[in-house]
Amino acid sequence: MTGSEEYDVVIVGAGFSGLYAIHRIRQLGLSLRCFEAGDGVGGTWYWNRYPGARVDIESMQYSYSFDEGLQQDWKWPEYFSPQADLEAYANHVADRFGLREHIEFETRVNRLRFDEAENRWHIAAENGRTATAKYVVAACGSLDATNVPAFPGLDTFRGQWYHTSKWPKEGVPFEGKRVGIIGTGSTGIQAVPVIARTAEHLTVFQRTPAYSLPAYNRATDPEYEQAWKANYPDRRAAMFGNFAASYMENEQYRSVFDYTPEERLRILEEAWAARNGLLFMRTFSDIGTSLEANTIVAEFVRGKIRSIVKDPAVAEMLCPKTYPIGAKRICMDTGYFEAYNRDNVTLVDVRADPITEVTPTGLRTTAGEHELDIIVFATGFDAVTGSMTRMNVTGLDGRDLRDKWADGPTTYLGFLVAGFPNLFMIHGPGSPGVLAQMITAGEWQVDFVAGVIADMEAAGRQRIDTAPEWEQRWNLEVEQAAGQTLYNEADSWYVGANIPGKPRVFMIYIGGFDRYKQRCAEQVANGYEGFVFD
């Protein structure tokens, strides 16, 4: 379909939040259209098809809550779903609720311009599609703008190269191939053991070692599933009131220092043997806030790495020592460290021996050339802000969002940017985003935005904006919340450190999803305090 059509609402992205936004906003009786870059639904779980891609939050809770019939009917075969199951679920939801008819696929939005005379957004996509809308809901993901480091010579490489988040649907055969993978974050850690099983040789290029803990994935136990299905309303209610939008039970939640060293060790050993990584991180209450507590737990994890990896020199290279455990997103693996005990896996420390260029036949580091047939970039994303700024967004007075955010993103309550009226972000900077369970938190944010739009329409208002002073106030709350944790202690994508030149700002509200909800609701109840209407 071509031509500039007028809608009340345009939604960008048909991932989990975008799909729910279609469902929810349609209930308001407004006209809407969703533009999606891919040729299918699912967002993150559409794009990330790399070997081993799997969610690390239990699927019984990492799923929609808005429809009781859906959550009763759907069966999750595994505790932590692989990409294919999550994509199948997104497709089921799109069909079950008749959402697909509102989506235009292969329509990557690359221009969003606010026309202040009309109070409307003009939307354009790479394929030439144009539209206008009173409101835009940007549900375009926190981890979608791909980061491929600018190594010289990539265009000369005669083999194949892939970024993990743009993986070919038909898959990549590794049999008989010399494969190099750059990056050891959550993605690299999931891919390494799987690629190692079939590649002739796998060379892992590691810049910073990651703390990774066992995932303990397994087939869904029928009793566990039944316990969830019998109690979904209560458990969902608990999740909506929780700091991480997650369901937690049997919490042992006291300070490391409430225990003797022997008790601590026993608790940590029990946790390591039975709890997945995210639960392990909640063994004690102060792992994320006290450096001393954190160091005790980090040393325990380093001990585990040393006990798994047989070559002591390789084990030492794999031990993270330069930042607190949990200050970068904790990784969860299935056989990651064990993969280094295979004869066909080699580890290269590219901090000591940096990659200098891609050659026609491989990768060169300062120490020499590594001949490769396939290079896998598990190098992450221009996270949180990249999916917004790459759309070439201009607001009042033609101001570019990239200029506005040159020193770091500013938002009011994580969803509205001063000077960019009627543009609502889901999981935007300054929201709990990636530090809360994203499907549940996304549902809440979509409901919140739908409420704002409904109020606007009921009052006959044309424009909702905020003011820089309210952005400053909210940024201060975001900063203060982060300041009470150890998150600033690591060079992570949470602070933009993975992208050369990106300002170092902690971009996520870590004060808790529950607190965030309360703050949003308070400001609205207070007569939309901090908002500016026209």
> Can you tell me the distance from the alpha carbon of 425 to that of 18, in angstroms, rounded to the nearest whole number?
11
Stretch that binds ligand N01, among 53-61, 71-79, 106-114, 358-366 (CB under 6 A): 53-61
Q: Which residue has the tokens 């300062």?
A: 366
Interacting residues with ligand N01 between 406 and 435 (CB under 6 A): 434
Of 245, 239, 238, 236, the closest CA to residue 512 belongs to 245
Could you tell me the CA-to-CA distances from 398 to 113, 147, 338 in Å, in that order? 8, 27, 54
Among the residue ranges 25-33, 176-184, 468-476, 477-485, the one whose residues contact ligand N01 (CB under 6 A): 176-184
Residue 55 as a binder of ligand N01 (CB under 6 A): the answer is yes
514 close to 520: Cβ distance less than 8 angstroms: no
Q: Is 182 in the site for ligand N01 (CB under 6 A)?
A: yes
How many residues touch ligand N01 (CB under 6 A)? 24
Q: Give the binding range for ligand N01 (CB under 6 A) out of 52-60, 294-302, 303-311, 502-510.
A: 52-60
Measured from the CB atom, is 131 or 215 closer to ligand N01? 215
Q: Which is nearer to ligand N01, 76 or 531 (CB)?
A: 76
What Cα–Cα distance (Å) separates residue 314 from each residue in 42, 307, 318, 341, 485?
Answer: 38, 12, 6, 9, 31
Binds ligand N01 by CB under 6 A, chosen from 36, 56, 349, 373: 56
- 91-130 burial, b for 16+ CB within 10 Å, e for fewer? bebbeebebbebbebebbbeebebeeeeebbbbbbeeebe
Q: Which of 185, 277, 430, 442 binds ligand N01 (CB under 6 A)?
A: 185
> Between helices 438-458 and 16-26, what is the axis angle to 10°?
30
The only residue of 179, 244, 348, 378 in contact with ligand N01, by rule CB under 6 A? 378
Residues 6+ apart with CB under 8 A from 182: 149, 188, 205, 350, 355, 363, 375, 376, 377, 378, 379
List Cβ neighbours of 3 (8 Å cut-off, separation of 6 or more). Answer: 130
Shortest approach of ligand N01 to residue 462 CB, angstroms? 38
Helix (H/G/I), strand (E/B), else coil: 482 = helix
Strand, coil or helix: what is 72?
helix
Site string for ligand N01, 380-399 (x = CB under 6 A): x-------------------
Least separation in angstroms between residue 273's CB and ligand N01 is 21
φ and ψ of 156, to 5 deg: -95, -10
- Pick from 267, 264, 327, 261: nearest CA to 291: 327
Strands (E), 320-436: 331-333, 345-349, 355-359, 362-365, 368-371, 374-377, 393-394, 423-425
Residue 503 within binding range of ligand N01, rule CB under 6 A: no
For ligand N01, the binding residue among 300, 412, 470, 493 (CB under 6 A) is: 493
Q: Which of 187, 276, 283, 475 binds ligand N01 (CB under 6 A)?
A: 187
Distances (CA, A) of 25 to 43, 120, 126, 127, 133: 19, 18, 25, 25, 13
Please report whether residue 140 would count as binding ligand N01 according to CB under 6 A: no
164 near 377, Cβ under 8 Å? Answer: yes
Closest approach, Cβ 51 to ligand N01, in A, equals 12
Stretch that binds ligand N01, among 49-57, 114-122, 276-284, 480-488 (CB under 6 A): 49-57
42 is an interface residue for ligand N01 by CB under 6 A: no
Question: Which residue in 12, 143, 372, 401 binds ligand N01 (CB under 6 A)?
Answer: 143
Instruction: Pick the stretch among 22-30, 179-187, 393-401, 525-533 that binds ligand N01 (CB under 6 A).
Output: 179-187
Tell me if 183 contacts ligand N01 by CB under 6 A.
yes
Shortest approach of ligand N01 to residue 184 CB, angstroms?
4
Query: Which is closer to ligand N01, CB of 62 or CB of 114?
Result: 62
Least distance to ligand N01 from the beta carbon of 330, Å? 9
CA–CA separation, 269 vs 387, rounded Å? Answer: 40
Cα(528)–Cα(417) distance, integer angstroms: 15
Among 40, 188, 511, 530, binds ligand N01 (CB under 6 A): 188
CA end-to-end span of the chain: 33
CB of 208 to ligand N01, least distance (A): 3
| Contact region with ligand N01 (CB under 6 A), list: 180-188, 237-245, 389-397, 471-479 | 180-188
Judged by CB, which is closer to ligand N01: 164, or 422? 164
Residue 317 beta carbon to ligand N01: minimum distance, rounded to whole angstroms: 13
Which amino acid does the sequence have at 123?
I
Binding span for ligand N01 by CB under 6 A among 112-120, 169-177, 178-186, 393-401: 178-186
Answer for which of 63, 83, 184, 437 binds ligand N01 (CB under 6 A) is: 184
Task: Give the number of C-alpha atoms closer than 13 A to the C-alpha of residue 289, restricted to the C-beta side.
Answer: 12
CB 207 to ligand N01: min, Å: 4
Q: Interface mask (CB under 6 A) for ligand N01, residues 268-307, using x and -? A: ----------------------------------------
> Between residues 149 and 408, which has the closer beta carbon with respect to ligand N01?
149
Q: Is 451 near ligand N01 (CB under 6 A)?
A: no
* Binding of residue 498 to ligand N01 (CB under 6 A): yes
d(CA 290, CA 287): 6
Beta strands in 99-236 (DSSP E): 103-104, 109-115, 120-125, 130-138, 160-163, 178-182, 201-206, 212-214
Q: Which of residues 311-350 bind ligand N01 (CB under 6 A)?
A: 329, 350
Q: Is 83 an interacting residue with respect to ligand N01 (CB under 6 A)? A: no
DSSP β-ladder status, 362-365 and 368-371? antiparallel
Residue type, 22: I
Residues that bind ligand N01 (CB under 6 A): 54-56, 143, 149, 182-188, 190, 207-208, 329, 350, 355, 378-380, 434, 493, 498
